[in-house]
Structure 1
Amino acid sequence: MVHIRFEGRSLDITETQLGITTGMSDVAVKEQVSRHLDINTNRLSAYVIDRRPSGDLIIRPEAVYG
């Protein structure tokens, strides 16, 4: 499962729907997500990809503290 937080929205999408396979780089994952969201890839440049032990991915804005 891929959980995406983008501009106030939360989406849960399967890897198959996004065309994501095991071992893809962060850049490749962001490219697939940007295609799905129909946005320019550079809009995800400040986003991070958390790869969970379960295999799930969380794509979210980088957290800034303090």
Structure 2
Amino acid sequence: MIHIRFEGRSLDIAENQLGITASMNDVAVKERVSQHLDVHTNRLSAYVVDRRPSGDLIIRPQAVYG
């Protein structure tokens, strides 16, 4: 499962729907997600791809503390 948090929205999408595989690097994952969201890839440049032990991915903005 891919969980995406983008501009106030949360989406859960199956990996195969986006064509994402476990071997893809973060750049490739962000490219697929940006295509799905119909936005330019640079809109996700500050986003983090969090790989969970379950195999799920979370694409989210970087957390800012302080």
Bin for the TM-score computed over the shorter chain = over 0.9
Question: Paired residues, what number?
Answer: 66
User: Percent identity, aligned pairs only?
Assistant: 82
RMSD of Structure 2 on Structure 1 (CA): 0.4
Alignment of 1:1-66 (within 5 A): 1-66=1-66
Q: Structure 2: how far apart are the matches of 1:16 and 1:34?
A: 15
- How far apart are residue 22 of structure 1 and its match? 1.5
Q: Deviations over 1:16-47 (max 9, x none)?
A: 01110121000000000000000000000000
Q: Structure 1: how far apart are the matches of 2:23 and 2:65?
A: 30
Name segments (4+ residues, structure 1) moved above 4 Å.
none
- Report the TM-score, using the length of structure 2 for normalisation: 0.99
Structure 1, unmatched stretches of 5+, are: none
